[in-house]
Structure 1
Amino acid sequence: MSAHPLTPESLTRFLHEQIPLCAAMALEVQSVDERRLVVHAPLAPNRNPHGTVFGGSLATLGIVAGWTLLYRALAQAGRDAALVIQHYDCDYLAPAAAAFEAEASLPDDWPALLSRFDSRGRMRCDVPVVLRSGDKHVLSGTARYVARR
């Protein structure tokens, strides 16, 4: 699935090369561990006419955070999979008037989902995402991804 180390820097490069929208948004993977991933984006390339972050950029950052977390988790587990978004549900809680970040976390049932992938060759995984701008909580969502061998 991955021929490169799965560090924040290498994941950022991968996203910019493979998903051009990520480069246009100037997003960066800030941190990653076994259970969570944080992606950051600046205001300037993501602003709307009101001087705040465009809602589509907020949604996209949440989707990218969840996708990248699962991509890395599958690669770390040695699984090769085609991974796509199936559904995204979110609530916009407040405008973001500065740089913003999305945090995605693996669900508690991740080991069972990985086992399902091994036995069936596919799985669905719901990933919770939270977006913040400064200390303000601006979006809560859940992204459902489908992975197939």
Structure 2
Amino acid sequence: MTPEALTAFLQQEIPLTAAMQLRVTQCGEGRLRIAAPLDANRNPHGTVFGGSLATLGIVAGWTLLYVELQAEQLHPNLVIQHYDCDYLAPGTATFFAEAQLPEDWPRFIEQLRAGRRSRLDVAVRLTCEDREILTARARYAALP
């Protein structure tokens, strides 16, 4: 799926992502990068709203797993189970979320192929103007 097609899919299926004006900028080889503008996600202080930061992180991890599961021809119900993040600095411009497949991806797939529920932790990193502004660990559950 191209970044443009994936952006359209997200904005159709998760309407909040349209309001956030997020845009998938990179997808492939076990990595995903999403951008969102400050204007659609600002708080009264003129910086990125913390809820938008958390949401973009969750969406980045979920979207990465969704794409990779589709490539494996697996279609489980994929949901966020737990999200733990640290806000490191304010975002003052367009911000980006990056996620990549963890090392235990093969185990995750193996459990799903065996018809079992599987969980996977994904590290997510958000940046703004080349500065790290949030780090997170998201746990997703996949139900066959």
Of 24, 32, 35, 2:30 maps to 35
Checking the alignment, whether the CA contact within 8 Å between 1:34 and 1:73 is kept in structure 2 is: no
The CA deviation string for residues 15-62 of structure 1, in whole angstroms up to 9 with x for no partner, is: 000100000000000001121100000000100000000000000000
Of 60, 85, 97, 2:92 maps to 97
Q: What does 1:20-99 align with in structure 2 at a 5 Å threshold?
A: 20-99=15-94
The CA deviation string for residues 87-113 of structure 1, in whole angstroms up to 9 with x for no partner, is: 000000000011100001111111121
In the TM superposition, residue 116 of structure 1 has moved relative to its aligned partner by 1.1
Root-mean-square deviation over aligned CA pairs: 0.7
Alignment partners' CA distance in 2, 1:107 and 1:46 = 29
Are positions 1:137 and 2:122 aligned together?
no
Alignment partners' CA distance in 2, 1:80 and 1:132 = 30
List alignment gaps of at least 5 residues for structure 1: 1-5
Structure-1-length-normalised TM-score: 0.95
Instruction: Supply the AA of the counterpart residue of 2:20.
Output: M
Are positions 1:126 and 2:121 aligned together?
yes
Corresponding residue for residue 3 of structure 1: none
The CA deviation string for residues 93-143 of structure 1, in whole angstroms up to 9 with x for no partner, is: 000011100001111111121001111332101000000001110000011
| Number of residue-to-residue matches in the alignment | 144
Structure-2-length-normalised TM-score: 0.98
3-state SS of 2:142 partner:
strand
Checking the alignment, whether the CA contact within 8 Å between 1:104 and 1:130 is kept in structure 2 is: yes
Alignment partners' CA distance in 2, 1:68 and 1:132 = 18
Identity score, percent:
58
List alignment gaps of at least 5 residues for structure 2: none
Alignment partners' CA distance in 2, 1:62 and 1:12 = 15
Instruction: Supply the AA of the counterpart residue of 1:136.
Output: R
**Structure 1 stretches of at least 4 aligned residues deviating more than 3 Å after TM superposition:** none
Alignment partners' CA distance in 2, 1:47 and 1:101 = 14
